[in-house]
Amino acid sequence: MIDKRVASAAEAVSDIFDSATIMFGGFGEAGSPIELIHALIDQGATNLTMISNNCGSGQVGLAALLKAGRVSKVICSFPRTANSTVFPELYRSGRTKLELVPQGTLAERIRAGGAGIPAFYTPSAVGTPLAEGKECREFGGRKYLLEHGLRADFSLIKGRVADTHGNILYNKTARNFGPPMAMAGKVTIVQVAEVVEPGKLDPESIVTPGIFVDRVVAIANPAHESELVEAGASYP
């Protein structure tokens, strides 16, 4: 019988290697797999390329991964938010590179990568510095830029509940980048609050089918980034 459960977050990320490209789910706090990220910090992989919506807050989660010096390049839409204290300094000092991508374009690049689409055209960013070096073509009297699909060696995402086959349900809008990232990762690792036996989930409600998931780890009481930031927590 298929059983994709692993015993711990540490085991789930144990084979992530140096210089890997990793997608991290989440839109700000919502859907951020904090326990998997912290386990990755403990694991020690470095020179990583991070693909995410943002760069984290405070001194936990993605911000902690950046602070630990493990990320050499970030591909994201919102590198700085109200509580961003780590990435701006890393970027200004040249220690971490940034590829800034409009959010809709980022979502479509991830979706395209997961669907096997190598590239597509979009009008987003035409006429801005983000268009520099990109192919521009005109369709129907409007200019479009060529953007390439994104793939990752690993995708780390967060769901609400999964079955042992890896079928995933999310907590409302916390699904955000999770489904397309699950498709775009060569190895997809999901943390959920609960794991159930096959047949317990309504097939019509499943968002991410288990075929896109490689490992599932149960984190019964996941941390909330905003609470950690408010408390002044840092990791490690």
Mean pLDDT of 173-177: 95
Residues 128-139: pLDDT tens digits? 999 999 999 999
pLDDT value for 127:
96
Mean pLDDT of 142-167: 98
Residues 87-105: pLDDT tens digits? 999 999 999 999 999 999 9
Is residue 165 within 8 Å of residue 212, measured between CB atoms? no
One of 3.40.640.10, 3.40.1080.10, 3.40.190.10, 3.30.497.10 is the CATH number of 9-117+151-230, namely 3.40.1080.10
Task: Name the residue among 180, 171, 175 with its Cα closest to residue 212.
Answer: 180
Q: Extract the tokens encoding 84.
A: 């961003």
- Judged against a pLDDT cut of 90, whether residue 85 lies above it is answered with no
pLDDT value for 84:
83
- The conformation of residue 91, written as its DSSP 8-state character, comes to H
- Judged against a pLDDT cut of 80, whether residue 1 lies above it is answered with no
Residues 3-27: pLDDT tens digits? 999 999 999 999 999 999 999 999 9
DSSP per-residue codes, 38-106: HHHHHHT--SEEEE-SB--STBSHHHHHHHTT-EEEEEESBS--TT--SHHHHHHTTSSEEEE--HHHH
Task: Name the residue among 23, 34, 26 with its Cα closest to residue 110.
Answer: 23
